[in-house]
Amino acid sequence: MMETWRRPLGLRFREGVTWSLDANGAAQLTSSSFSPVSLGALPQALLTAFERLGAEGPTIEALAEGLAEQDGPLAVATLLHHLRRLEQLVLLAYAVRDVKTTIAVLQPISPRFSLGSGAIDPERRYVLSRFAYQRRVGEGLVLESPRCHALLRIEDARTAALCFALARPTAPAALTVPGASLEAMSTLVGLLVAAGFAIPAEDAGGTEEEQVFELASWSFHDLLFHARSRPGRHSGPCGKTYPFRDRVPPPPALRPPRASTDPPILLHRPDLDALRTSDRPFTAVLEGRRSVYAQGRVPISVEQLGELLYRSAGVRAHIPATPECCYDITMRPSPSGGACHDLEIYLAVDRCRGLDSGLYHYDPDAHALSRIQGRTPEVTTLLTDAAFATRHTELPQVLICLASRFQRVSWSYEGISYSVTLKNAGVLYQTFYLVATAMRLACSGVGRGDSDLFCKAAGTDYYAETSVGELVLASRTEGDEP
């Protein structure tokens, strides 16, 4: 809490928070992220203090001194009461100044933020968390971490220099930042420690982030993705906000047909009514599902490929945009977040009865394949990489590549778009698995894939249509039945 903080910090309202007087003369705080907070009727001296919080970022001492001179100790007590309340509501930001210049501002981004004491040992070594990172926001630079409930706005090059110095374990007493006072740098180190950006660096065994399994098991990218794609540790939008609704029209529900000199290859459509009575029971399919790596001697046929694609991903219905859902959608066997169905299906074929080797795109509406190219070096490498990833020397008969038209999701979702895409890929994986099991085909997921290689092979833009998952599909070996 603020009263336990041992170093001089400037206070200001959190970014986006403003104060005003309502019709009854009561002071209230407003922001786009919360309902108005009423502070009641305040004397002029306190209103002046709030003016200073919105502008210059004074210390508690400076605010209290000014109030004590005007209205006495009771006004100071009232001020501290309101500051504590603002802190509990996470409406305050904390500034570090060097002489008369603000060099950094700690900005809470989560309702779970709590400022620690900032007590540090000037002789103990501290180091920047391995999860901390800097990035540009607008015309400024910020320091963030998925472990922290705040961000640090870097207002001066001296702060950036301090972060650079803390890339290796350093004691505050040994810090040398050109043009910066030791007091300001020590205060800033204390703030970084209190917020979780910097941690003690032990002489042996590394930091707790490297010693404690629960932390060591997280990579930087995994923890960042987890923290930023769910609400709780950031203040950004999260969910279906339609961020591009007034800027660009929604991407179409179906990818425009690819230009090709070859006519589309119409695929076999299974009789779904017949399958409803003759197909294997669902429990038998579910319990028999497993990754099958062994491939049959006789390759999969194009008829089997057509049945699997139709049962897993073929379009069943079109639904036009409505006021509630302002983009066209399609209904398919596999679910998709917001019915976006951003995933495009490509097939890298090594051997398939009735289909030449090469790379194909599946049109789920026409239920047809478009041949993109033949057996190019890129197609061969896609197949080779999949065999290597699944630890097999034999090339996959067919490699299914799932590519996301990412803007189809990000047009309506904000903050969780890529998370939605990966969930879509996961449920489509399961659908392929179950249908392949029902059809007695071999199916296995591939844990990794080269998206740049895919884009080169398919002729797509990495940022507009990029691969996010792969599966191997093949015939089964004789006797290998679930």
Highest mean pLDDT among 46-55, 205-214, 224-233, 407-416: 407-416
pLDDT of residue 50: 81
User: What percent of the chain lies above the pLDDT cut of 70?
Assistant: 96
pLDDT in tens, 131-175: 999 999 999 999 999 999 999 999 999 999 999 999 999 999 999
Pair 248, 365 in one domain: yes
- Indicate whether 331 and 408 sit together in one domain: yes
Per the model's pLDDT, the better-predicted residue between 61 and 3 turns out to be 61
- For residues 281 and 372, membership in a common domain is answered with yes
Least confident of 69-83, 226-240, 270-284, 424-438: 69-83
Show the DSSP H helices in 32-167 as ranges.
44-53, 60-71, 73-88, 157-165
What CATH number is associated with residue 417? 3.40.109.10
- Domain end marker among 228, 262, 290: 228
What's the pLDDT score for residue 479?
59
Work out the mean pLDDT of the chain and round it to a whole number.
91
Q: Is the predicted pLDDT of residue 2 greater than 60, yes or no?
A: no
Q: Do 107 and 156 lie in a common domain?
A: yes
| Same domain membership, residue 379 and residue 269 | yes
Tell me, yes or no, whether 287 and 203 share the same domain. Answer: no
Say whether both 258 and 335 belong to one domain.
yes
Distance CA 131, CA 109 (A): 17
Q: Which of 29-43, 419-433, 459-473 has the lowest mean pLDDT?
A: 29-43
**Residue 49 belongs to a domain:** yes
Is 361:369 a contact under the CB 8 Å cutoff?
Answer: yes
The pLDDT, as a whole number, for residue 62 is 83
Strand partners, 464: none
How far is residue 309's CA from residue 56's CA, in Å, rounded to a whole number?
63
Q: Residue 329: is its pLDDT beyond 90?
A: yes
In a domain, 118, yes or no: yes
300 vs 401: CA distance, rounded Å:
17
Of the three residues 90, 105, 120, the one that is the final residue of a domain is 90
Query: Do 8 and 51 form a contact (C-beta atoms < 8 A)?
Result: no
Enumerate the β-bridge partners of residue 475. 441
CB 27 within 8 A of CB 91: no
pLDDT at 357 over 70: yes
11, part of any domain: no
Q: What is the pLDDT of residue 354?
A: 97
- Looking at residue 1, what is its pLDDT? 43
Residue 396, domain member (yes or no): yes
The answer to the question of residue 236 being in a domain is no
Q: Based on the fold, state whether residues 338 and 443 are members of the same structural domain.
A: yes
Q: How many CB atoms lie within 10 A of CB 38?
A: 12
Query: Strand pairing partners for 128?
Result: 198
Does residue 181 sit in the same domain as residue 298? no
Q: In this predicted structure, what is the pLDDT of residue 40?
A: 85
Report d(CA 160, CA 166) in Å as an integer: 10
pLDDT tens track for 108-131:
998 888 887 778 899 999 999 999
Range of lowest pLDDT (43-52, 176-185, 188-197, 470-479): 43-52
For 31-89, the pLDDT digits (tens) are: 876 778 888 888 887 888 888 887 767 888 888 887 777 777 888 888 888 888 888 88
* Total of domains in the chain: 3
Of 49, 69, 90, which residue is a domain's last?
Answer: 90
**Does some domain include residue 209?**
yes
- Domain limits for position 71: 18-90
Would you state the pLDDT for residue 91?
86
Answer whether residue 388 shows pLDDT above 70.
Answer: yes
In a domain, 35, yes or no: yes
3: pLDDT strictly greater than 50: no
Interval 330-340: pLDDT, tens:
999 999 999 99
Q: What CATH number has the domain bearing residue 181?
A: 3.90.930.70
Helix (H) or strand (E) holding 363: strand 358-363
Paired tokens of 159 = 């702060």
Q: What is the mean pLDDT of residues 289-303?
A: 95
253 and 377 housed in the same domain: yes
Shared domain for 348 and 211, answered yes or no, is no
Residues 287 and 250 in one domain: yes
pLDDT of residue 482: 52
What per-residue confidence (pLDDT) applies to 233? 86
